[in-house]
Every structure is written in C-alpha cells, then in structure tokens.
C-alpha cells in the first residue's frame, strides 16, 4: 500500500460505538434531564442493561477501561451496595415495569464479584424488571482469576455467553503488558464454561501490542482456534497514555507502526476466514451458526458500547460508575470516580456526569455511521423514511464525500452509499467524514488501523 494513502487513512479517528462519541457528551445533560427521559420510556420493547464493575485483581498496562486494581473485597462490596441502590432508583423513574432482553457485565473484571453479591444483584434486578427467560446474559472474564466455583455462580446467575480475554499468548508480549496468562489456563476456563452449559464463548484478541509480531500473533490465533470459540472480538491496541497513565509503563519503541498494524489486521482476517469464521464489521468474527452471523445474514447487526451485537433494543440502560446508556432522549454517562458515584447514589440522586440530547440530524447521521460500521453501507431513502428532512444533510454529505474520493473506495448512486471492498479496512476514517463533531473540542483518538 502506498505510504501517502496509508498515512491519510490511518490518522486517529473514533471507533464509533456511539454517535456523537463520548468525548462530546457534556454536563449540560445531567440527572434532571435523565429523570425526564426515563419518565418517557413507556414503550413495550424489552430493555437492555449494562452493569459496569470497575475493579480488577490485576492492572493490565494496555487497558483503556475505567477500572482499578483492588487487594481487598471491601471496596467491591460497598460498590455493589451502590449498584443495588441505583437499579432501584432508575426503576423508580420508569413509568411502568419493563422487560429485559439482554444484560451485559463489563469492567474491569466482573468475575471479581462474590457469589453472595451476584445473588443480591439478581434479586434486585428481578424485583424491578421482568427478565426474559431467554435473555442473553454476557460476562467479560479474565481467565487468570476464575475457577469452577466462580463460574458456577455466574451460571446460576444466568450467564449464557462469556467473553474470555486472551489478548496474546506470547510470554514476551504478556510481560510487556503485565498480563501473564498461559494457554492451558485459558483452555481450562473455556472447558469449564462448556461443562457448565454456557452456550456462547467469545475470545478477545488484541493486535498492535508491544513486542508483538505477525508470527507471534499467528501462533496466538492458532492456539485460540484450537478452543473453537463461537466468536472472536479483535481489538487494535489503543495507545492513549494521555488518558490512561498506566500505559506510560509500556515501551512505545516496542509498538508496531501503522503499516505493521495493517499487516496484522489483514493476517487476522485471512486466518480466521480460512478457519470458517465470518467477518462481522471491522473487528468481530463469528461461526456461521452463531446468532451474530445469523444477524449478519438478516442485515440486523447493531453496534453499541459493547461492540457488535444482535441487540435491537431501543434503549440501553447503564448502571455503575462510568457506564453509558442510551434512551430515546439521548446518551448519558455516569460519574466515573467510584467514590463520587457511590456518594451520589447514597444521596438518592441519579449519578449522571454528562450526556447528549439527540437532534433529528444527530439520529440520521448516527444511523448512517452505524450502517457503515456494521454493513459498509446505508440508504438515504431509509433515513428519509425515519427522519424526514434531516436525512437531506446526510445525502449532501454523501455527495460531497463521493466527489472527493480519488481512491476508488466509495460508490454512491443518490440513495445507496457503499464502501467498496478495497476501502473497508478504512471504514472508520470514511465514517468520520460524516461526523459533524469530529475535530471539534480536545478529543484525541487512537489510530484507525
């Protein structure tokens, strides 16, 4: 690939798990606005819930999540007290009891929770919501700190899908990111999950890590494939030491350059496709029988803060410090600092730090960007049917973007805007050209490949 083209398309851009992206949320949307929005959530469609657990048994240096290492359980128990209270508080603002079709636990390491606290959380959720018996309940797992007892507790909670963190199996890479984890340790956790009847197993792999090479990455993928996961989530390491100070412990000289990162990404696609996995958007792969692959066939893949999903719920409610939710009115994000979050909930207030009220144009642009990120295309007429005149802004941008395309990456016929196969590695960069907020403010992002 020509260096000038790679330089143009690999510049830092958002990952577009929302639109507008979180750096553009502002404190003008707070607890009062969220209470009003919740009061209008009177639909019949099932809700989705996200519960954030901002604690880990170890601090991995590559991590970009809102989390911290703890040596005692006391802070975790106090946090669960606040989670229980927040769930009840949010439910009190809803105009009626709602059903729930999906629950996702993220972190941090949700498996740090004790079995008794898991029971408490299940009880408070059941007290305020109707959890569908077929609901997907997914949990992020660090295989270095779980055993059969912990996993059985999660099975009893209702876990149906586990996302197991692999990152990389090379010992040199693991040492460079402070995450020692053997293949056999990981394989044992995957085996335990299947013995417990957990129907969906995802593996998370990261490329672009320090000291990682194409050869070591290929070996990591070979070992991962031997566990026959249902899905892979592939993440490019985002080096953002200005946001995450612990990333300053990573040797920047050991990080791959943009060209090598692109080669790694291409290697991943080739190896997983050869193994029979279907590519889902920019960074997921699924076996043909998996529900995400089936959603791809139906054109129903969606994207939210948990990545690619089958979740079509109109509203996602987030619980816990730093969690982000979206309801009909717009986005909200909870207070990030756990102490401030706990204190606010104890005072009986919704712990909102900031948010964003969506305009019709925001919704139209957001749907267009989600279409690009999930299926590499969108239809102006479909946007017009949903948003009326607001879609004209997207159509005008599509015409401008196609006119400026000198690389043959785009096709637009006046209705269907498509990113062609040769441009799909750079869909984030192309999507950013529709983003009306990109470049405004002080937001900084990771590279696009």
Whether residue 325 is contained in a domain is answered as no
Please tell me the predicted confidence (pLDDT) of residue 9: 87
Instruction: State the DSSP code for 22.
Output: G
Is 326 a member of any domain?
no
Task: Determine the pLDDT at residue 370.
Answer: 98
Residue 275, pLDDT score? 98
Cα angle 58, 60, 66; round to 5: 90
Report if residue 344 sits inside a domain: no
Residue with the two structure tokens 């729930």 = 100
Q: Of 142, 78, 58, nearest to 105 (Cα)?
A: 142
Q: Do 281 and 412 lie in a common domain?
A: no
Distance, in Å, from the CA atom of 294 to the CA atom of 316, rounded to the nearest integer, reads 22
| Count of structural domains within the chain | 2
Q: Are the C-beta atoms of 430 and 404 separated by less than 8 Å?
A: no
List of the chain residues with pLDDT < 70 = 1, 441-448
CA separation for the pair 429, 10 (Å, rounded): 7
- Domain with residue 377: its CATH number is 1.10.10.920
Helix-strand-coil split of the chain, %, nearest 5: 45, 20, 35
C-alpha neighbours within 13 Å on the C-beta side of residue 280: 30
Among residues 293, 319, 345, which one ends one of the domains? 319
pLDDT of residue 442: 61
Structural domain contains residue 371: yes
Residue 65's pLDDT is 84
Q: What CATH number does the domain containing 244 carry?
A: 3.80.30.20
Q: Is 131 within the bounds of a domain?
A: yes
Residue 419: which residues within 8 A CB-CB, separation 6 or more?
372, 376, 377, 409, 410, 427, 430
- The model's pLDDT over 282-341, given as tens digits with 9 standing for 90+, comes to 999 999 999 999 999 999 999 999 899 999 999 999 999 999 999 999 999 999 999 999
Two structure tokens written together for 440: 């405004």
314 and 375, same domain (yes or no): no
| Residue 347 DSSP class | T
Domain that holds residue 119: 16-319
Answer yes or no: do 155 and 227 share one domain.
yes
The per-residue pLDDT for 5 is 86
Task: Report pLDDT digits (tens) over 250-280.
Answer: 999 999 998 999 999 999 999 999 999 999 9
Q: Are residues 207 and 140 in the same domain?
A: yes
Cα separations (Å) of 432 from 234, 273, 445?
A: 21, 27, 12
């Amino acid at each position: 690939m020509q260096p000038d083209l790679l330089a143009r398309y690999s510049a830092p851009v958002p990952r577009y798990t929302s639109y507008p992206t979180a750096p553009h949320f502002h404190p003008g949307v707070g607890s009062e606005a969220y209470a009003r929005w919740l009061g209008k959530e009177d639909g019949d469609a099932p809700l989705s819930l996200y519960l954030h657990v901002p604690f880990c048994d170890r601090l991995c240096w590559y991590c970009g999540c809102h989390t911290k290492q703890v040596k005692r359980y006391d802070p975790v128990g106090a946090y669960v007290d606040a989670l229980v209270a927040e769930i009840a508080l949010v439910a009190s603002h809803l105009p009626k009891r709602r059903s729930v079709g999906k629950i996702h636990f993220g972190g941090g390491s949700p498996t740090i929770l004790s079995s008794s606290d898991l029971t408490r959380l299940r009880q408070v959720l059941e007290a305020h919501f109707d959890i569908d018996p077929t609901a997907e309940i997914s949990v992020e797992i660090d295989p270095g700190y779980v055993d059969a007892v912990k996993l059985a507790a999660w099975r009893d909670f209702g876990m149906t899908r586990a996302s197991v963190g692999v990152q990389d199996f090379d010992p040199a890479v693991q040492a460079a990111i402070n995450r020692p984890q053997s293949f056999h340790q990981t394989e044992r956790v995957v085996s335990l999950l299947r013995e417990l009847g957990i129907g969906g197993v995802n593996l998370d792999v990261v490329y672009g890590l320090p000291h990682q090479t194409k050869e070591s990455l290929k070996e990591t993928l070979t070992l991962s494939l031997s566990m026959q996961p249902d899905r892979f989530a592939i993440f490019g390491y985002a080096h953002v030491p200005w946001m995450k100070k612990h990333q300053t412990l990573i040797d920047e000289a050991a990080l791959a350059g943009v060209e090598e990162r692109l080669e790694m990404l291409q290697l991943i696609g080739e190896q997983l496709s050869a193994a029979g996995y279907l590519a889902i958007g920019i960074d997921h792969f699924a076996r043909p029988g998996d529900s995400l692959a089936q959603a791809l066939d139906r054109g129903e893949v969606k994207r939210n803060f948990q990545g690619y999903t089958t979740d079509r719920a109109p509203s996602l409610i987030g619980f816990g410090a730093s969690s982000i939710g979206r309801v009909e009115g717009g986005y909200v994000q909870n207070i990030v600092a756990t102490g401030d979050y706990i204190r606010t909930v104890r005072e009986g207030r919704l712990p909102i730090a900031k948010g964003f009220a969506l305009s019709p144009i925001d919704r139209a642009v957001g749907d267009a960007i989600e279409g690009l990120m999930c299926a590499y295309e969108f239809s102006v007429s479909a946007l017009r049917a949903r948003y009326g005149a607001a879609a004209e802004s997207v159509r005008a941008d599509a015409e401008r973007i196609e006119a400026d395309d000198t690389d043959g990456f785009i096709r637009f016929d006046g209705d269907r805007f498509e990113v062609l196969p040769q441009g799909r590695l750079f869909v984030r960069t192309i999507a950013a050209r529709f983003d009306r907020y990109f470049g405004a403010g002080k937001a900084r992002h990771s590279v696009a490949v």
